[in-house]
Amino acid sequence: MSILIDKNTRLVTTGITGSEGKFHTLRNRDYGTNVVAGVTPGKGGQDVDGIPVFNTIREAVDKQGANTAMIFVPPPFAADSILEAEEAGIELIIAITEGIPAHDELRAFQVIKKNGRSRLVGPNCPGILSPDKANVGIIPAGFFKPGNVGVVSRSGTLTYQVGNELAQSGFGNSTIVGIGGDPVPGTDFIDVLGLFQDDPETELIVMCGEIGGDAEERAADFIAAHVTKPVVGYIAGFTAPPGKQMGHAGAIVSGSKGTAAAKAEALEAKGVRVGRTPTEVARIAMEILGH
């Protein structure tokens, strides 16, 4: 078993006719993901390497039974595309687009939460990979194989780094979930931790955080209350100077709040072991699970 995506995933890509949207959609299909449709307004009736293109997401749902959407449209239009997917009844919306205005994210998040019929992962995330089942997004799947370690991360490339270290130590993954580093992630650490906790295939969870916000601190509380499986943590940004924004809207330290040290401490206080480097994360995983 995996979480969120698998062989039942029926993917529609919005922005499929853009160069990035096309490139990654075809890679996802090559990996084995069931890509059933693409959407680009005004290009309905065309196809992208055999994938039918529609004008609206609703059409992709009605005609192709799409249940998962990958959002690849440019930032000014991405929230509209997310909301369109929600309205069309898409169950899982994975938003790759980076640079969506924060207030757009806020409104999209609130609508999705209040209506309660879709889950949003991202935006500004690398997507989700369930090795040998499906890959939705931009995670370079070749580095990963099926296994019993679930990975959840705020940072895209860091996910690959940590995942790669685990792979080199012989671990495979149940699912790798990039939740994104934006101000308003649709899905939080605690949502994914809950899913991994309930996933029989996942035996260990790796959680990669970074400076800024309090998502890791809230995750620590959630782990103490609800997660019985072992969790290994990693936090990027121990050496980041305070008050500077480090790329992501998320990656900013203000005062004593949101530092990597504070986050690591919060996790360790709840019994979560925290690796200081990606390599150390793999080492701790080895100690816990053995081989």
Partner 1 sequence: MDLLEYQGKQLFARHGIPVPSGKPAGTVEEAVAAADEIGYPCAVKAQVQIGGRGKLGGIKIANNQAEARQHAEAILGMDIRGLTVFEVWIEGASQIASEYYASVVFDRGAKAPLVMLSTKGGMDIEAVADEDPDAIARLHVDPLLGFQDFHGRRLAYEAGVDADVVRPIGAMLKKLYNAFIAEEATLVEVNPLIITPEREVKALDAKVTLDNNALFRHPENAELRDRSAEDPQERMAKERGLTYVKLDGNIGILGNGAGLVMSTLDVVKGAGGEPANFLDAGGGSKADAITSAVEVILSDSKVTAVLFNIFGGITRCDEVARGLIEAFSQLNPSVPFVVRLDGTNDVEGRRILAEANLPNVYTEATMDGAAARVVELAKAA
Does position 93 interact with partner 1 (CB under 8 A)? The reply is: no
| Centroid of chain to Cα 209 | 12
Q: Which of residues 240-259 bind partner 1 (CB under 8 A)?
A: 240-241, 244-251, 255
Q: Hey, what amino acid is at 231?
A: V
E-strand ranges in the chain read 11-14, 35-39, 47-48, 51-54, 68-71, 92-95, 119-121, 127-130, 134-137, 146-153, 173-178, 204-210, 231-236, 273-275
Q: How far is the CB of 228 from partner 1 (least distance, A)?
A: 25
Binding segment (CB under 8 A) for partner 1, from list 3-11, 156-164, 196-204, 261-269: 156-164
Clarify whether 248 is annotated catalytic: yes
Q: Which of 17, 56, 169, 197 contacts partner 1 by CB under 8 A? A: 56
Does position 261 interact with partner 1 (CB under 8 A)? The reply is: no
* 207 bridge partner residues: 152, 233
Does position 184 interact with partner 1 (CB under 8 A)? The reply is: yes
Q: Which of 1, 49, 63, 157 contacts partner 1 by CB under 8 A? A: 157
* Total of residues contacting partner 1 (CB under 8 A): 79
Does position 98 interact with partner 1 (CB under 8 A)? The reply is: yes
Q: Hey, what amino acid is at 112?
A: I
Q: How far is the CB of 80 from partner 1 (least distance, A)?
A: 5
Q: Which of 158, 207, 223, 285 contacts partner 1 by CB under 8 A? A: 158
Q: How far apart are CA 21 and CA 35, in angstroms?
A: 12
Does position 43 interact with partner 1 (CB under 8 A)? The reply is: no
| Centroid of chain to Cα 14 | 17
Q: Which of 10, 48, 109, 264 contacts partner 1 by CB under 8 A? A: 109
Does position 181 interact with partner 1 (CB under 8 A)? The reply is: yes
Binding segment (CB under 8 A) for partner 1, from list 3-11, 30-38, 63-71, 95-103: 95-103
Q: Half-sphere exposure of residue 289, counting CA atoms within 13 Å on the CB side?
A: 24
Spatial CB neighbours of 150, under 8 Å, sequence gap ≥ 6:
3, 173, 174, 175, 176, 177, 192, 196, 199, 202, 204, 205, 206
Q: Which are the catalytic amino acids?
A: 248
